[in-house]
Amino acid sequence: MGTPRVHDDGAVRTVTLDRPEAANALHLDDVDTITGAVTDLPDRVRVVVVTGAGDRAFGAGMHLDVFRDAAPGDGRAIITRLATCLRAVRTAPVPTIARLNGACLGAAFELALACDLRVAHAGVRVGLPEVRLGIPSVVDAALLPRYVGAALAQEMVLTGSVHRVDEPGTAPLVNRLVDSPAGLDAAVDDLVATLLAPTREVLSAQKELLETWREQGITGSVEASVDTFAEVFALPATRDAIARYRP
C-alpha cells in the first residue's frame, strides 16, 4: 500500500489511491504516478476511473508530511507538481470518472473536480480545508464555482467548511448519486457503458473543446468548435459511426 494502483480491465483503467491507513492522503510521488496513469494510455483504454482504497475515504488531500518536511521555499515546486497532475487529468484524451467512495478533501477534491464525471454515495463529504493549515486552496479548486456557484464556493474556500454531496448546494457536483456505497459500482458501470459507445476520437476531440470553452470566450470557443468538427468529421472512425447509427 502507498503508491496508487493502476489496473487495466479491457477498455477501463482504474487508478486507486492506496493509503487507506491515512485516508488515502497523497505524497508527491503519488501525484506523479497519477499523472503518468492518465497520460501514458494504450489505445485500448477508453475510460479512466479514479477511486480510493477502502471505504473511509476517496482521499484526504496531500499528506501533512509533504508540508511538514518541506522548506519554506519549496511551495512552488510542490504546487507545480500537483497542478501538472490535475491538468493531465483534466485534459486526458479519454473520459475520466471520479468514484467517490468516502471523504474527498483538499487536493483529492481538486482531483475529483478535474475528472469529467463524478459518482458518489449520499454519505460522501467534500471540502477544501487548506485555509485551516494557513495555505490557500489553489489550482483546480478554481473549477468549484462552476458547479456550486460563487457564494457557496467562496464560503468553502474561505472557511474550509465540509459538506455532504447530497446537500442542495453541493448536489450539482455529482453526476450520479446513489444511496449507499453498495450502489457505486453499478452506477460507474452504467456511465462507463455509455462512454464506450461513441468513438474514442470524438470523445477526445470533445474533451479538448470543453477545455477550450473553459478558457476562452464564446467567439474563440465557436471558432475552435468549427475547426474541431471539420477535423473529426473527416475521420474514418466517424464515417463508420455514422453508417452504424440507428436512432
Q: Which of 21, 110, 201, 223 is catalytic?
A: 110
Strand ranges of the sheet holding 12-18, from the earlier edge strand across to the other edge: 2-9, 12-18, 47-52, 96-100, 117-121, 176-178
Residue 110 among the catalytic residues: yes
160 alpha-carbon distance from chain centroid? 20
Q: Is 78 helix (H, G, I), strand (E, B) or coil?
A: helix
Alpha carbon distance 116, 207 (integer Å): 9
Q: Is 39 helix (H, G, I), strand (E, B) or coil?
A: helix
Residue 21 among the catalytic residues: no
| CA-closest candidate to residue 131, choices 162, 104, 163 | 162
Other CB atoms within 10 A of residue 225 CB: 15
Q: Residues 88-116, buried b or exposed e (16+ Cβ, 10 A)?
A: bbbbbbbbbbbbbbbbbbbbbbbbbbbbb
Q: Which of 130, 201, 208, 211 is catalytic?
A: 130
Q: What are all long-range contacts of 158-162, with beta carbons under 8 Å and residues at least 24 apart? A: 158/131, 159/131, 160/127, 160/128, 160/129, 160/130, 160/131, 160/132, 161/127, 162/105, 162/125, 162/126, 162/127, 162/129
Other CB atoms within 10 A of residue 219 CB: 8
List, by residue number, the catalytic residues: 110, 130
